[in-house]
Structure 1
Amino acid sequence: MKKEVQLMKTQKKIEILQKMIQINSVNNNETQVADYISSLFSPYPDVDIQKINYAPNRDNLVLTIGKNKGPILGLSGHMDVVAPGNRADWNYDPFAAVIADHKIYGRGATDMKSGLAALVVTLLELLEQKVDLPGKLRLLATVGEETGEYGAAQLTKQGFADNLAGLIVAEPTSRMQKIVYTARGVIDYKVISYGKAAHSAEPQHGINAIDNLIVFYHLALERLLKFTETDAVLGGVTHSITKIKGGEQVNSIPSYAELMGNIRTIPAYPNQYFYDELESIIAELNQKEGFKLAIAYSFPEEAIAGNPDSRIIQLAQKTHLQVLGSVAKVTGSSGANDGAEFLQAKGHFDSIEIGPGSATSHQSNEYVEIDDYLNAINFYKQFALDFLKDKQIQTDYTGID
């Protein structure tokens, strides 16, 4: 008589996601999420669990299952969320994880605790069923994705993504209906202008830091227009000045001003092109009398070129049709993700981005459809098995266990 395989009950899967949402990890406090995830795996002795500290209350989590030698599939999800904004705009407490109309509401429900929870449940079910994996699955749960992918950068530098055979990033992709293989890069930069204070009645005795910053502002907007090439999937480069401040009081010539800019890049233009252009403007202006400008960058990410014909894409399409009954659209993303950091690890591998979620990321009343979340679990579980068992993946894999 064939032994019946027991699967985790649906209510338990939902409770895991609710618990993650209920942990307030707004740009901080990821350790509590990491500890909760770790606790779910404590009954299983054959799980390798490592917490990698980034800062107080900020721990990345790396969790690996599978005993056999063979390919390693990376599973990527971040534990931080953005601030909820004005709570009066929410119908429910953003950290209560309320269920209504077959949806779970809360900050991070879509971006991206539903994707992370689906990966976690996938691993738990494989352990419950004692599946003999022909390789390994490695969960890379990170801090700080929303503010710069610095958790992924730390894990990459410490070798946790080395020699992967592939990577799946569980960011939301239109209710699992898109498979993303290419993504824009991002450069966040800050320019500081130093001037000299003086009474506004005698401006000739000061140096106006705001005036000098505005000169940079216009030159930067003008000169970055020369990057005109477009990508068939991602479009063109975008550049926006998104934050500016300066001055001390209305009747004083400002001695300090700063602005922040955001550039979204495409594979045709490595980030160095933009560094060179911005820094040449700074150097040019600093040669002029009265100018003193400085520039700094915040966790820039290169664009992901990707390959729409890669084996991981082919397998994901096959699994998608089998499990979800539809053909997923293979496309790109205008936003950056942790994959940009992990792809810098040793070895060569391709990544895809696919996950549950609605079009409510970073909005009030963020939610995920419960059915989408449960479908994601089914997809990830089958995809992981399809990937590790694939003969081409096994043949091409040259990693070191």
Structure 2
Amino acid sequence: MPLDPADLTARLVRCPSVTPEDGGALPLLQEALDQAGFACTRVDRNGIANLFARWGEKGAARSFGFNGHTDVVPVGRREDWTHDPFGAEIVDGMLYGRGATDMKSGVAAFVAAAVDFVTETPPEGAVILAITGDEEGESTDGTLALLDWMAAEGERMTDCLVGEPTSPDFMGQMIKIGRRGSLNAWLTVRGTQGHSAYPHRALNPIPAMARLVDRLSAHELDRGTAHFDPSTLAVVTMDTGNAATNVIPAETRACLNIRFNDSHSGASLTDWLRSEAAANDAAFGTTTEVTVKISGESFLTPPGPLSDLVTQAVAAETGVTPELSTTGGTSDARFVKDHCPVVEFGLVGKTMHAVDERVEVAQIHQLKAIYGRILRDYFA
């Protein structure tokens, strides 16, 4: 009997798998995959649950992989939800719950498609599923742990699809063939504390910070590239924490986020930030500390056989020819791209991370059909 992806989605949503908790999600998937003849291995690291599953021979010349996550973000205030966030209630054709869109439906769809495919038409090659519980968190012990284990064990995907929600408005709208990089920077500008009545005896760091963040946010990083929109810089917080009106503070802090295209690297942007801070310090006499965390570099899987395969499957099942895009935030594709060619395709993402997150049940079945067609065409 074919595996019902909507039922599997509902069972996954009922698992309270808020990062880093698994909530029973991966054992549920492993049971279904074990029964279908997949060789399953738990690749847990530092308390994070991960699952590797392979049907077919290790080291096969052709091995198509799916990547996804079962962890979810917190629900926020439960009283704001119309339906139990872990109840998986179906109302008017919509399945409600945290993770319904991002991305338990995607995982259920590719698990169901893979199980049915290897059962009905066993391929010459391997089908690999790499499922993590650490995408919504720090992402250091999830897909990275799976890829590290695969490298050590000689396991390899020749191509991979990440099942994240990719379409902004309607099913089949968009395939991701790359992602912008993401960089967070924390700025601490230090001066000299003093009495506000005697500003000449102090060195106020606040005007220096104001000038610095203005310079940074006004700077045009680029005008976009062939496959990427222009890079963006957003100042997300400024904080001094000074409750006294008669004290000039000794330091002030700010944080900014840069989403960057392939005109830049994390290292080049870090150098630019530190150069701007040094120039600002020279003008004001302050000292600025710049701390940077790079969440991921920009990457692109150039349009070609993999994106063509997914495009044709989406068009065949939806009647929509999807746009090839690099928009949006980061995903675990930023790690998979170092292992093999990777694209992303999944459901409409309008309600992900929102109160009353929900997915249209019919679209879960449609997504399974798309993934099944991708597998059949890949191994044809």
TM-score normalised over the length of structure 1:
0.82
1:169 equivalent in structure 2: 162
SS of residue in 2 equivalent to 1:67: coil
Q: Do structure 1's residue 108 and structure 2's residue 103 form an aligned pair?
A: no
Residue type matched to 1:172 in 2?
P
CA contact (8 A) 1:149 1:337 kept: no
Q: For 1:236, which of 225, 230, 237 is the aligned residue?
A: 230
Residue type matched to 2:327 in 1?
S
The C-alpha deviation readout for 1:59-82, integer Å capped at 9, x for no partner, is 222222222722122211122323
Q: For 1:179, which of 175, 181, 191 is the aligned residue?
A: 175
SS of residue in 2 equivalent to 1:110: helix
**Aligned-residue offset at 1:50:** 2.6
Q: Do structure 1's residue 193 and structure 2's residue 197 form an aligned pair?
A: no
1:323 equivalent in structure 2: 317
The more displaced of 91-100 and 227-236 is: 227-236
**Aligned-residue offset at 1:103:** 0.8
SS of residue in 1 equivalent to 2:213: helix
Residue type matched to 1:181 in 2?
I
CA separation in 2, counterparts of 1:24 and 1:197? Answer: 49
CA separation in 1, counterparts of 2:130 and 2:192? Answer: 48
CA contact (8 A) 1:358 1:369 kept: no
CA separation in 1, counterparts of 2:269 and 2:155? Answer: 28
SS of residue in 1 equivalent to 2:7: helix
Distance 1:113 1:278, change over 3 A: same
**Aligned-residue offset at 1:269:** 2.5
Q: Do structure 1's residue 84 and structure 2's residue 75 form an aligned pair?
A: yes
> Percent same amino acid among aligned pairs?
23
Q: For 2:27, which of 21, 26, 35 is the aligned residue?
A: 35
Distance 1:132 1:297, change over 3 A: same
1:375 equivalent in structure 2: 366
Residue type matched to 1:185 in 2?
G
What 5-or-longer segments of structure 2 have no aligned partner? none
Q: For 1:275, which of 259, 270, 281 is the aligned residue?
A: 270
Distance 1:305 1:42, change over 3 A: closer
Distance 1:215 1:36, change over 3 A: farther
Distance 1:173 1:7, change over 3 A: same
**Aligned-residue offset at 1:17:** 0.9
1:296 equivalent in structure 2: 291
Residue type matched to 2:328 in 1?
S
Residue type matched to 2:132 in 1?
T
CA separation in 2, counterparts of 1:255 and 1:36? Answer: 54
**Aligned-residue offset at 1:214:** 2.6
CA contact (8 A) 2:86 2:98 kept: yes
**Aligned-residue offset at 1:280:** 1.4
The more displaced of 326-335 and 105-114 is: 326-335
TM-score normalised over the length of structure 2:
0.86
CA separation in 2, counterparts of 1:92 and 1:47? Answer: 37
The more displaced of 231-240 and 103-112 is: 231-240
Q: What does 1:120-269 correspond to in 2, within 5 Å?
A: 120-126=111-117, 129=119, 131-147=121-137, 149-150=139-140, 151-160=142-151, 163-174=156-167, 175-195=171-191, 197-198=193-194, 207-222=203-218, 224-225=219-220, 227-251=221-245, 252-269=247-264
The more displaced of 28-37 and 102-111 is: 28-37
CA contact (8 A) 2:306 2:341 kept: yes
Distance 1:257 1:59, change over 3 A: farther
Q: Once superposed, what is the RMSD of the aligned Cα atoms?
A: 2.9
CA separation in 1, counterparts of 2:51 and 2:192? Answer: 48
Distance 1:124 1:297, change over 3 A: farther
Residue type matched to 2:159 in 1?
G
**Aligned-residue offset at 1:208:** 4.2
1:386 equivalent in structure 2: 377
**Aligned-residue offset at 1:312:** 0.9
CA separation in 2, counterparts of 1:122 and 1:378? Answer: 7
**Aligned-residue offset at 1:211:** 4.2
Q: For 1:362, which of 353, 366, 369 is the aligned residue?
A: 353
1:97 equivalent in structure 2: 88
1:25 equivalent in structure 2: 17
Number of aligned residue pairs: give it. Answer: 372
CA contact (8 A) 1:194 1:292 kept: yes
Residue type matched to 2:129 in 1?
L
Distance 1:335 1:248, change over 3 A: same
Distance 1:38 1:103, change over 3 A: same
**Aligned-residue offset at 1:382:** 2.3
1:311 equivalent in structure 2: 305
The more displaced of 72-81 and 314-323 is: 314-323
Distance 1:154 1:293, change over 3 A: farther
CA separation in 2, counterparts of 1:40 and 1:170? Answer: 19
Distance 1:93 1:290, change over 3 A: farther
The C-alpha deviation readout for 1:261-306, integer Å capped at 9, x for no partner, is 1111112333333122112123344557763322223342122222
